[in-house]
Chain A
Amino acid sequence: DSGVTQTPKHLITATGQRVTLRCSPRSGDLSVYWYQQSLDQGLQFLIQYYNGEERAKGNILERFSAQQFPDLHSELNLSSLELGDSALYFCASSVQSSGNTIYFGEGSWLTVV
């Protein structure tokens, strides 16, 4: 158990819908990362927050947004869902922002039908 908690573990939704994925980082970790794992793709970086502020942004679609709250938990919002958004979404956390080991949650499986 890494200490990073993600909910829900599995989610099935229809195209055009909106979902929110939630992440609670390890106790004491200030940095939260979101990654997308699609079929035949590596872990694609979406976005990173550090202590409530956006720190780095990857190829995150405009339909996707995220935030980190004062209690350091984070949410990833996915809207106008398409079939291609079906993937495993990982949240990870680390103590600081640079170079440290990051600890992964178990992921949220999103299936868009």
Chain B
Amino acid sequence: ILNVEQSPQSLHVQEGDSTNFTCSFPSSNFYALHWYRWETAKSPEALFVMTLNGDEKKKGRISATLNTKEGYSYLYIKGSQPEDSATYLCAFKGSGNTPLVFGKGTRLSVIA
């Protein structure tokens, strides 16, 4: 059974704090690692798709890194704002006809 683990499960930070969360995935048969942002009452929206070991992606105050050899990815949010409050999902795609497997997410609450 393929396991994608995210930690922490939830996180409360003050506005302006920087934060990061972890996604752990199998280090074999890697094809891609996705990050999605899921706001309450909306559908998940893609943040990044990373495919190469050592990849770093950035979108505004949000960035992500990837280590495929050890099977982890970090998502960083710099200077958190209340509008960053959401559940952040990572998803692992293995090689071949395998599905995109999601972790349970990290729920971030940013307090003004």
Number of interface residues of B (CB under 8 A): 22
A2 to chain B, nearest CB (A): 6
Query: How many residue pairs between the two chains, A and B, have CB atoms under 8 Å in the bound complex?
Result: 52
Q: Which residues from 68 to 112 on chain B have a C-beta closer than 8 Å to any C-beta of chain A?
A: 89, 91, 93, 97-105
- For B89, the closest partner residue in chain A by CB is A43
Report yes or no: A102 in contact with B100, Cβ–Cβ below 8 A: yes
A residues with a Cβ closer than 8 A to B are 2, 4, 33, 35, 41-43, 45, 48, 55-56, 58, 90, 97-107
Instruction: Provide the main secondary structure of the chain A interface.
Output: loop
Q: Which 3 A-B pairs have the closest CB atoms?
A: A42-B104, A104-B43, A99-B32
Q: Among the listed B34, B99, B103, which residue makes an inter-chain contact with A48, where contact means beta carbons less than 8 Å apart?
A: B99
Cα–Cα distance between A82 and B44 once the two chains are bound (Å): 26
Cα–Cα distance between A107 and B39 once the two chains are bound (Å): 13
Report yes or no: B101 in contact with A45, Cβ–Cβ below 8 A: yes
* Contact A106/B31 with A42-B103, A45-B99, A99-B51 known, Cβ cut-off 8 Å: no
Q: Which chain B residues border A56 with CB–CB below 8 Å? A: 97-99
Q: Which chain B residues border A99 with CB–CB below 8 Å? A: 31-32, 49, 51, 93
- For B33, the closest partner residue in chain A by CB is A99
Cα–Cα distance between A107 and B46 once the two chains are bound (Å): 16
Cα–Cα distance between A27 and B99 once the two chains are bound (Å): 22
B37 to chain A, nearest CB (A): 11
Whether B55 is near chain A, meaning CB under 8 Å from some CB there, is no
A28 to chain B, nearest CB (A): 16
